[in-house]
Amino acid sequence: MTTTADDLIAQVRAYNPRTNEALLRDAFAFGAEMHEGQFRHSGEPYFTHPVAVTVILAQQQMDDATLVTALLHDTIEDTKASFRTVSDRFGVEIAELVDGVTKLTNLQLTSTQTKQAENFRKLFMATSRDLRVTLVKLADRLHNMRTIKSMRPDKQVQKARETMDIYAPLAGRMGMQWMREELEDLAFRVLNSEARNSIMRRFITLQRETGDVVQKITADMRVELEKVDIVASVVGRAKKPYSIWRKMQEKDLSFSRLSDIYGFRILTATEADCYRVLGAIHQRWRAVPGRFKDYISQPKSNGYRSIHTTVSGRDGKRVEVQIRTREMHEVAETGVAAHWSYRNGERVENRFAVDPVKWISQLTERLDDSHDHDEFLEAVKLEMYQDQVFCFTPKGEVIKLPRGATPIDFAYAIHTRIGSACVGAKVDGMRVPLWTRLKNGQSVEIVTAAGQKPQSTWIDIAVTGRAKTAIRRSLREEDRERFVRLGRELARVAFENVDKKATDKALRTAAKTLAIDNAEELLARLGSAEISAREIVRAIYPELAEKQGDEIDSKRAVVGLAADQQHQRGGCCQPLPGERIIGIAFRGRGVVVHAIDCEALADYEDQPERWIDLHWQEGTHSPTNTVTLDVTITNDAGVLGRICTLIGEQNANISDLRFIDRKPDYYRLLIDVDLRDQEHFHRVFTMLEADSNVSSLSRHRDPGLASVV
């Protein structure tokens, strides 16, 4: 049946007698005019779609601005209407809301798991100014899914997958559980109609065999509540087909073995009655361990409050019971949308409704701070899907974890020491990989071993912040040991280069001179490139640093400069004595020296007046010209130490070392080596290139460092 303007206004007036009837009529007429001649895939006039979207929002008792936005939400995108047209006729607020829906529709959202974080980022950022944009878009998607059969089969699958992956979870995140369930069921009907039909057939068979179980359990609950003089309404229902299918997949159970397929909701007048109801239910039926959640004392961030418990009902069947007040129920049904609800012409003041401005600002603040999509998803996903799993230790203790947690999370939840020593796990007596996702009710035993340390791959396996923090801390400590070993080797080579030995006493003296706590900290900083080996040698033997003999002073190593000009080597190409060079003059900064083939020189082709012809001073240059080597070596014991030794044997000093890639079979690193000239470079390069553990070697140059020393 076609909804007319009168029908819509009558529906709105039922909950908001003070609605602006003229505004709604005008928007209805304008939308109909703009979409005149447009048709949907089903052959219906296109304007029936915006009207249906508006009706969905009216059922949520939304304000006039949101309803008008729904009527006009496709006008700017699909008709000749412009932002200016809508703004002049309906005001800036509505024009901005319509424009927001248009931008949200045009977002390129990809329905794949790897893109999920990026999709949620786009959605939240696009709606950060006004959450009503999202409410209109969700209602738009709901109506499109209700009428999806008129689309091509391939389009149906695309839209259904997008709905399942993006819009249904978004509705859940906003607290609109009824919409999430319907979107999931509509998408499930498209994506796996055979499974859905099978579940529906099993339900019919079960009802024929056992009778109306929901009605029987509902009557039993009412009797128990009457015994303790609690006035409350009890409503029961079978769970949605998709919800049942998901449980079957998660628990790897057949339909016949699935027990908690019925859900019951008890609504009370007061919060105190909620806990009285809980007591009455638990006294009558046995509670299922690990299935109790109190969202009244610890509400979800979208305002959801309720008590959840699962009990063994008639014939041992498990049933889920939700207990909450009527105010809480209103928020549970409409979520964030409850903020805009009207009743009798007045904005409803529901003390449990979350402030959408505060909610979205907190979320988008995290988005602004997070530049990594995966990092953002890790931080937000637990809020998107707040389900938890409860597992048992061998002694029967309950461990609460977020859904998706692994045995590693379980181990660290018991104790950091257990987590760090973990080498394996048994779930319900069966050995499983550490990346196994745990399920409700499982018994988990952690296998430990002395000397075991956390692996870097655990970071990607763990879900909980506690586990990830402990793993990172342990890896840092392990890195420190490695840095100390590397620093000791670098110190040995540097000291031998000046005919000295890096004794413990010498290192302690250097640490004291450099105001570092102890020799081990000194070596750790050297290994992590926080200080250079040259600084340590200079701290003990300053006379060796000053002793240059017949070496050319680095300040006068270049010929061709004016008397008052200073020079610095370009960090981009790191030119060496013996190579052809050119200078680029900078006002107030002297001259930057580049190799003749440096890519950065292209930036100055149109400024010939700044070019200076230079060449190196003849003679022996000091070993202070740093060159960066890009080296890939095999990840075997002692390889890095030998590479450092090879460089030291050529009387070259390593001033810095940075790992840029670490894999199980190789390391890639940048090594800064202090050299005399081009010939010195070739000796070092040839020696390294000949080593069997060096898989690749090149001179690292970075055009982005054109003016860096």
Query: Which active-site residues does the annotation give?
Result: 77-78
DSSP per position, 389-447 = EEEE-TT--EEEEETT--HHHHHHHH-HHHHHTEEEEEETTEEE-TTPPP-TT-BEEEE
Task: Provide the CB-side half-sphere exposure for 654 (13 A, CA).
Answer: 32
Sheet holding 422-427, edge to edge: 430-432, 422-427, 444-448
Cα distance between residue 53 and residue 185, in whole Å: 18
Cα distance between residue 221 and residue 263, in whole Å: 12
Amino acid at 464: T
What are the residues whose beta carbons fall under 8 Å from the beta carbon of 459, sequence distance 6 or more? 468, 471, 472, 475
Helical spans, DSSP H, in 3-91? 5-15, 21-34, 48-59, 64-72, 75-78, 83-90
Instruction: For residue 522, give the H/E element and its range.
Output: helix 519-527
DSSP per position, 473-515 = HHHHHHHHHHHHHHHHHHHHHHHHTTT----HHHHHHHHHHTT
What are the residues whose beta carbons fall under 8 Å from the beta carbon of 89, sequence distance 6 or more? 26, 30
Strand partners, 430: 427
Cα distance between residue 11 and residue 24, in whole Å: 12
The encoded tokens of residue 377 equal 């998803």
